[in-house]
Amino acid sequence: MRSFRVAKVFRDNTDKINSIDFSSDGALLISCSQDDQIIIYDCESGSSKFTVNSKKYGVDLIKFTRSKNTAIHASTKIDHTLRYLSLHDNKYLRYFPGHTAKVNSLHLSPIDDQFISGSCDKTVRLWDIRQPNCVGIIHSGNKPIANYDPAGLVFAIGVNSESIKLYDLRFIERGPFSTFKCSGDLRTSGCEWTGIKFSPNGKFVLVYTNGSIIRLFDAFSGSCTGTLPGVVNNHALSLEASFTPDSKFVVSGSTDGQVHVWNAEDGFKICVLKGDHTSPIQHLQFNPMYHMLASACSNTCFWIPLVLD
């Protein structure tokens, strides 16, 4: 991890980037931004392939579907409908209405055509990409965050920035089969949970926030296994954190424009990577197939290990 360096900087956006996502085969990266642009990058050649726009609806939380030619995203204009977009001809294939407030969480199932969304309307909705109406709804606390486990059989909901509820997709009507309740400083740290992720090996649940707090929980016992220290966040921004594909490390952006790296097992900070970001890094993810990291502020950076002779 210490050898990672910025290999390419893209300055295609005129405003802050809202989200990024790799295709499942690692060949493409997609980004969306507050200037209503959707940009697709080729990870093998290190180049931008093409740009489409969503001027009418705005765009946020964009995610590739299992096909690299389509994506799903949240809206920032008109209403809070989710939209299914064909990227090669910039046409909408389907709309998913239902949320009545800002959508703050959107993730695709790793195994099929389902996806999950969480909203400030205090609901989490389950969807099938083939039909417009949600196939399940859970009424939860304020600003719920949700995501699937790597096997696609379980999903987690972070509720009120104080508890994590685990649901079996086969028996949603039974309610959560496990609830992790946070107490003490885990609950009263003064920041909101803004994202939740499982580690690729399924052992950990990671929660990132709009403060300087990143938590790791044991996915089976629910115990907090560590707090990852040292993130700079003096603007109360949501700073995405992610696992490396081998689940050994956690990386996070920061408002100082640097990437922080920790060991996932013991929470020890490995290094801080300095790149070409002049504003806060709010989004970063590891490529699922290649030894490559992408980070974004209003610029997008590709990182790869430095090869020494």
Q: What is the pLDDT of residues 92-130, one digit of tens each?
A: 999 999 999 999 999 999 999 999 999 999 999 999 999
What is the structure's pLDDT at 125? 97
Cα-based distances in Å from 165 to 29, 134, 142, 172, 209: 30, 20, 14, 12, 17
- The yes-or-no verdict on residue 169 having pLDDT over 70 is yes
User: Closest by alpha carbon to 297, among 102, 3, 14?
Assistant: 14
Is residue 229 a contact partner of residue 186, using CB atoms and an 8 Å limit? no
Confidence band for 190, pLDDT divided at 50, 70 and 90: confident
What is the structure's pLDDT at 188? 44
Q: What percent of the chain has pLDDT over 90?
A: 75
* Overall CATH class of domain 16-97: mainly beta
Is residue 293 a contact partner of residue 26, using CB atoms and an 8 Å limit? no
DSSP structure class, residue 21? E
What is the structure's pLDDT at 44? 92
Is the pTM higher than 0.85? The answer reads: yes
